[in-house]
Amino acid sequence: MSTNRRDFLKIAGASALTLIMCPILPVCARENLQVPGMESAPAKPLTAKRWAMAIDTSKCPPGCTDCVAACHAVHNVPNIGNSKDDVKWIWTEPFASVFPAENHSYSGQAQQKMRVPVLCNQCANPPCVRVCPTQATFKRADGIVMMDYHRCIGCRLCMAACPYGARSMNYRDPRPFIAKINPDFPTRTKGVVEKCNFCQERLAKGLLPACVLACKSKALVFGDVEDPHSEIRKLIENRFTLRRRASLGTVPQIYYIL
């Protein structure tokens, strides 16, 4: 069937008229039906060119693990109770383990006793992404190094590649070891590796990371380092910062202020 110019113009005109009239006419009005998961007013996601975090350890109260508790509760991280099988997204380490090159035998009591929060460094040049054979670990455009658990085959090459020990293997089914399951986030299954995801699922809903909100002393600052007016950018411009094992070239995006 060939359409001549006259017919084409008729159809185009009618279509345009329908499109204009549709929102006004009650016939075309969409049925008012609410189904769970259907968004009436979608939350505005937080976006950035390059997400990063600054940790001011001087603000960390001694013995405080609020950030760890909040993160692990939100993300259904199991507490297996033995260090070999442990799964962790954020945890604390002694200063000497976090910054071995910065440690010396004459450092004071405060520094020796200090425990520093550590998590995935969300590297700009992530070795885990390079070695992953299935691209289960990948880097998003906003810098978040994220895991697609559907693709993880549990080969643990990423664990060998990560210089920060930020990845944990599920050697057993984690569900029995989760005190209270948060139904808003999946658990993992036996045989996959997991790590901190910079709360990408919360950012998508317009919420800041759980650890940042849980910190009462505001020691954790999260934001866009590419934005010159952001709080984190100003903080790391004005204060001296350390990054863990930066000489390896992984370009870690967790900045420590000591």
* Contact residues: another protein, CB under 8 A: 30-31, 33, 35-39, 42, 138, 140, 146, 148-150, 181, 183-189, 200, 204
Q: Is 252 helix (H, G, I), strand (E, B) or coil?
A: coil
Tell me the closest approach of the beta carbon of residue 170 to another protein, in angstroms: 10
How long is the chain?
258
Q: Could you please report the per-residue DSSP string of 11-29?
A: HHHHHHHHHHHTTTSTTTS
Select 117 or 126, whichever has its Cβ closest to another protein.
126
Under a CB-based contact definition with an 8 Å cutoff, are residues 255 and 53 in contact?
yes
Select 1 or 31, whichever has its Cβ closest to another protein.
31
Select 155 or 242, whichever has its Cβ closest to another protein.
155
C-alpha 255: how far from chain center: 15
Tell me the closest approach of the beta carbon of residue 149 to another protein, in angstroms: 6
Token digits for 41?
Answer: 């007013």
Tell me the closest approach of the beta carbon of residue 111 to another protein, in angstroms: 40
Tell me the closest approach of the beta carbon of residue 40 to another protein, in angstroms: 9
- First and final CA of the chain: distance in angstroms? 76
Select 7 or 184, whichever has its Cβ closest to another protein.
184
Sign for the CA dihedral angle at 77, 78, 79, 80 comes to negative
